Structure 1
């Protein structure tokens, strides 16, 4: 699996590997509070070095078995500023998930990372359909998906409360063979 470098050289998606353990752990620790404002906590045990190592080893095993493709997003200084996951589902689908560190949000990095991921999926012919879900309150994530050519599929009917707000999940899809619009602005 190869990395992709954007033309503007701002970021690179690099396949997750064991060498990322220390820096990725630090990234997760530094951004824990921020991430937990948007998604449920991974739990205190995730932030113990032994548990984090086991979790990373599990992702690397999945990647080796082609059950998923996991990446770190690095800037020009090779600092991890985010991560992106592509998890295999049935019916030639990949579920996309990404997170960008708090100091790097609102700068277009999520859009660029997703654009790079789409190019990787096309180049490697991994799957045909990318799907994504986010919460109704996460407008930024919805915009990232839409700007990369994802089509809105609909809202989950089941409501839930998160951080004092009533929300639902919002679903999107990108068909590799049809859309071909990952370079939208």
Structure 2
């Protein structure tokens, strides 16, 4: 499947809200949930505007992964961009109907190519220990696992094991 990444903007709010709602159950199988508030349109709209503000301030850079017809199939982000150290953290999620098609792998490749334009020279990532697909995507894109730790999820109170990765550009 041909995909591209498109920088998040104001007009994406409704389509992104629908994407997130449609995939909530699927996402929460492998990553900590975002809480019920996230899935109300009013709260989502406020959070969307906060993301756009972060993007304007160059703290983060958010992208929607879209197919050739412009349909959102996932999202990928660089957050906590530190221009002094050249570091940022990557996060991504692919909609349930679009998994196992190489989309996360291709989107991460595209993002890695864009990162130097954002003054990012090292990308860090973390994923839960049971998210094997994400681990494979990271390794395939040159990330190395650098540590493992346990954290209590703020939303669920569940203890989760996280694998931390890093890649120098």
Give the one of 72, 92, 96 matched to 2:86: 92
Which residue is equivalent to 1:102? 96
Shift of 1:39: 1.6
Shift of 1:154: 2.1
Give the one of 108, 118, 121 matched to 2:112: 118
Shift of 1:77: 1.4
* CA distance, structure 1, for counterparts of residue 70 and residue 126 of structure 2: 29
Which residue is equivalent to 1:152? 145
Which residue is equivalent to 2:3? 11
* CA distance, structure 1, for counterparts of residue 135 and residue 81 of structure 2: 21
Which residue is equivalent to 1:73? 65
Alpha-carbon contact 2:61-2:79 (below 8 Å) kept: yes
Which residue is equivalent to 2:16? 24
User: Relative to 1, partners in 2 of residues 1:27 and 1:155: Cα closer, same or farther, differing over 3 Å?
Assistant: same
Shift of 1:89: 4.4
Is the partner of 1:94 in helix, strand or coil? strand
Gaps in structure 2 of 5+ consecutive residues: none
Structure 2 length normalisation: TM-score?
A: 0.91
Structure 1 window deviating more from structure 2 (19-28 vs 166-175): it is 166-175
Shift of 1:135: 1.0
Gaps in structure 1 of 5+ consecutive residues: 1-8, 177-185
The answer to whether structure 1 residue 129 and structure 2 residue 122 are counterparts is yes
Alpha-carbon contact 1:137-1:167 (below 8 Å) kept: no
Is the partner of 1:115 in helix, strand or coil? helix
User: Relative to 1, partners in 2 of residues 1:166 and 1:65: Cα closer, same or farther, differing over 3 Å?
Assistant: closer
Number of residue pairs matched by the alignment: 164
